């Protein structure tokens, strides 16, 4: 009787281990498939909890540093740090070395505009030093209109940021995002910089196109955030 009991217990144990292994495998598959969705769900909850200008959701949180990994160009690896001078001004530092570009955005009623771009700033520059300049920034005319609601889809145009798509799916080193806003900027040489913006993250991918080319000469996409 004891032998039959031991055999039955051993059989049950094997079945339990087998079922557990299958469940773990299924769980891993579900986790892989749902990872991107969970990432965006958490992001949407953060947006809903924050009482702010709706266009600010297309910028990274204050103090966050996004690392971008590049393909095709040695300068396409860079970091971007976001800071908020006040409820009206946002600063983004961008660079791939000791110094980089500082871009200042102003929040207006239905749009966000770029009012200043400066070069040669160190990564650890203290944005508090810039807060004293807010009264000067108020008097500056916009350099560029960056984002404006409602989003009007159009084709790239010289010296302007143009929304070319409003519900794009974009793959990055960080994950896959849905409902991205795509904006393009054309310079004097008709080269185009295409950026993908996602709520709660801001820019997650950037592509560089030389004039007349359909394939990007370089690509940078977000890899991690700290």
Identify which of 2, 38, 62 has the alpha carbon closest to the alpha carbon of residue 202: 62
What is the predicted pLDDT for the residue at 41? 53
What is the predicted pLDDT for the residue at 13? 36
Residue 52 pLDDT > 60: yes
pTM: 0.74
Q: Which tens digit of pLDDT belongs to each residue from 64-94?
A: 999 999 987 667 899 999 999 888 899 999 9
pLDDT band at 27; cut points 50, 70, 90: very low
Q: Residue 122 has which token pair? A: 């160190």
């Amino acid at each position: 009787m004891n032998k039959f009991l031991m055999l039955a217990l051993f059989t049950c144990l094997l079945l339990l281990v087998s079922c557990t292994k299958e469940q773990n495998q299924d769980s891993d598959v579900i986790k892989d498939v749902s990872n991107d969705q969970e990432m965006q769900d958490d992001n949407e909850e953060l947006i809903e909890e924050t009482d702010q200008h709706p266009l600010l959701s297309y910028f990274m949180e204050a103090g966050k540093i996004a690392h971008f990994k590049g393909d095709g160009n040695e300068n396409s690896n860079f970091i971007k740090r976001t800071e908020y001078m006040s409820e009206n001004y946002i600063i983004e530092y961008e660079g791939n070395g000791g110094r980089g570009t500082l871009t200042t955005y102003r929040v207006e009623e239905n749009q966000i505009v770029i009012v200043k771009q400066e070069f040669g700033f160190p990564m650890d520059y203290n944005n508090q030093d810039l807060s004293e300049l807010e009264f000067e920034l108020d008097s500056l005319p916009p350099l560029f209109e960056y984002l404006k609601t409602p989003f009007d889809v159009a084709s790239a145009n010289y010296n302007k940021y143009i929304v070319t798509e409003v519900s794009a799916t974009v793959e990055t080193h960080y994950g896959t995002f849905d409902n991205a806003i795509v904006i393009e900027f054309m310079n004097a040489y008709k080269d185009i910089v295409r950026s993908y913006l996602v709520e709660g993250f801001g820019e997650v991918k950037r592509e560089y196109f030389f004039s007349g080319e359909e394939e990007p000469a370089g690509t940078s996409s977000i890899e991690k955030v700290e």
